[in-house]
Amino acid sequence: MQMAPVRRLAVIGLGLIGGSLARALRQAQVVERCIGFDADAGQRQAALALGVVDEVASGAAAAVTEADVVVLAVPVLESGTVAAALRPALMQTAVLTDVGSTKRSVLAALRPALGTALRRFVPAHPVAGTEKSGVGAAHADLFRGHRVVLTPTEETDADAVDRVRRLWQAVGAQVETMSPEHHDQVFAATSHLPHVLAYALVDLLGRLQTHQELFRFAAGGFRDFTRVVSSSPKMWHDIVRANRDALLPVVDQYVEALQQLRGAIDRDDAARIFEIFSRARNVREHYLRSTSAGAQP
Amino acid sequence: MQMAPVRRLAVIGLGLIGGSLARALRQAQVVERCIGFDADAGQRQAALALGVVDEVASGAAAAVTEADVVVLAVPVLESGTVAAALRPALMQTAVLTDVGSTKRSVLAALRPALGTALRRFVPAHPVAGTEKSGVGAAHADLFRGHRVVLTPTEETDADAVDRVRRLWQAVGAQVETMSPEHHDQVFAATSHLPHVLAYALVDLLGRLQTHQELFRFAAGGFRDFTRVVSSSPKMWHDIVRANRDALLPVVDQYVEALQQLRGAIDRDDAARIFEIFSRARNVREHYLRSTSAGAQP
């Protein structure tokens, strides 16, 4: 049997994504041994009890000692602190990667934290997840058929990029590459903005006097629309702060689009309302047909 | 065997809701014979071919002749025209009901169309549906475990209300009653507003130069958030126009809430962002626990 391409994998942050990646890589038999660490003792114990990792370490530095691949799977604003803590224990040949939903901020935080080791850091963003969080929700198939975006820079080692690409391919993901700047623009529009819109809606309805009754009569559409609100508030708080400069302009564009639609409703402009609704439906149907990701529509 | 409580049911409008109600009532064996009509010949043929109805009529008036219960399942802005067309053929004892998502507008449109027959009209809104439309998507279990809101007025016959209530109960729905005014307020916030927000988002992204790429990288959260956009544009165009005066104030409240969140992100007010996100998550989780409707979260 061929030797597993990763002798010792360290996963720092045993949440939904870190836990799922550990499960998936072990199931794909590309990892000999998997060591995990999470700042939350409960998550560490659960990861061990659920067989997500082979062992848990007492700290980030202890986890990465002798690891040839290290995955940072922590909320994006913690990346710098965690990287600084594990830096002294990193093998010189170790490849680092992450799973954060923003990429410029992680690179900026890791630059001072990692120093020369930054060139072996491969920024990665698996475009997968559920509204559930925690290691208990982790499963090996989370990434199958989903895209993973790598955002290496000019400094990034080509060998490190190749290694990370092969790991994601081993768990069934479709790997794509773009610049960190472009990544942050794309996901501000398609992911961070919808989250912000849904959080604002649920918070508004929750503050209304009548909210108990409102939610009693909320239907499936409302549940779908607000599912993202059940995601980890800490994780999303980090994301919107980290990607603020890309996010704010699309929030402003959105408010303008909403005000245009509001204006059409206000003046009872039937043709315009129908045009906007039909165009949106066509865009979504076209997108559903063109997307190849295995997830349900 | 007991005689079915409805000898002859007429369903005007053979879309998702009308078709599903016909299927459900026939499966519950509370209807002896079901006659359908739809302005679209294709939907009529499909309804017959799929066994959704026993027969189709050549017009709304022909369909309701000798019917003891008539269901209007047309887009809300068409209710008045359809009611006026079938009025001359209505039996004096016939009970009318509808399935519209707005209630004041339907009552206002039916008042001149029905005249004295208005007292046998029971306004109803089944809080169920999917983003699919058309009779092909109709199924008998659509209403099981879902709420149906009846909004009778002081003029409405108590016997008619009882009859409609029992029909909905026969297909597994939980029937509740409220005033038309209150209904329109509640659904402006929990249903019409989320639809408007999602339409505005997808339309905005579809108009951006980069939209092809944006949608390639959209994840499950985006699909969930925008599912409602795949609903019938005609139906939703009618709803927002019909409920304009209740909808516009909540759109404005929403824009204000969104601007507050935007402001917190802009000034990097970490505590405030986290507070809004956490509160919204708690509200949604609380609502999911308290809701008894059988649908998935």
Mean pLDDT per block of 10 residues along chain B (297 residues) reads 80 96 97 97 96 96 97 96 97 97 98 96 92 90 96 97 97 97 95 95 88 80 85 93 97 98 98 96 84 44
Q: B297: helix, coil or strand?
A: coil
- CB pair distance less than 8 Å for B229 and A197: no
Condensed to tens digits (0 to 9), the pLDDT of residues A49-90 reads 999 999 999 999 999 999 999 999 999 999 999 999 999 999
Element (H, E) at B223: helix B220-225
Determine contact, residues B180/B125, Cβ cutoff 8 Å.
no
- Name the residue with higher pLDDT: A292 or A283: A283
Phi, psi angles (nearest 5°) of residue B105? -65, -35
Q: A24: helix, coil or strand?
A: helix
Asked whether the predicted pLDDT for residue A215 surpasses 90, the reply is: no
- CB pair distance less than 8 Å for B241 and A270: yes
Condensed to tens digits (0 to 9), the pLDDT of residues B27-69 reads 999 999 999 999 999 999 999 999 999 999 999 999 999 999 9
B160 CB-contact burial (10 Å; exposed 0-12 / middle 13-18 / buried 19+): buried
In chain B, the N- to C-terminal Cα span, in Å, equals 40
Partner residue opposite A290 with nearest CB, options B215, B221, B276: B215
CATH number of A6-178: 3.40.50.720
The pLDDT of residue A2 is 57
- CB pair distance less than 8 Å for A248 and B225: no
Q: Is B193 on the interface with A (CB under 8 A)?
A: yes
Please state which CATH class domain B182-290 belongs to. Answer: mainly alpha
The pLDDT of residue B224 is 83
Residue A170's pLDDT band (cuts 50, 70, 90): very high
Q: Is A106 on the interface with B (CB under 8 A)?
A: no
User: In chain A, where does the domain assigned CATH 1.10.3660.10 lie?
Assistant: 182-290
Gap from A223 CA to chain B (nearest CA, Å):
6
User: In chain A, where does the domain assigned CATH 3.40.50.720 lie?
Assistant: 6-178
Residue B283 is given by DSSP the state: H
Q: What is the ipTM of this complex?
A: 0.91
Strand stretches in A127-257, DSSP E? 147-150, 174-177
Q: Is A276 on the interface with B (CB under 8 A)?
A: yes
Q: Is B254 on the interface with A (CB under 8 A)?
A: yes
> Amino acid identity of B242?
A
- In the block, tokens 């002081």 appear at B154
Task: Provide, as residue numbers in chain B, all residues whose Cβ is less than 8 Å from the Cβ of A267.
Answer: none
Candidates A256, A281, A288, A289, partner chain B, best to mutate (most B CBs within 10 A): A281
Q: Is B270 on the interface with A (CB under 8 A)?
A: yes
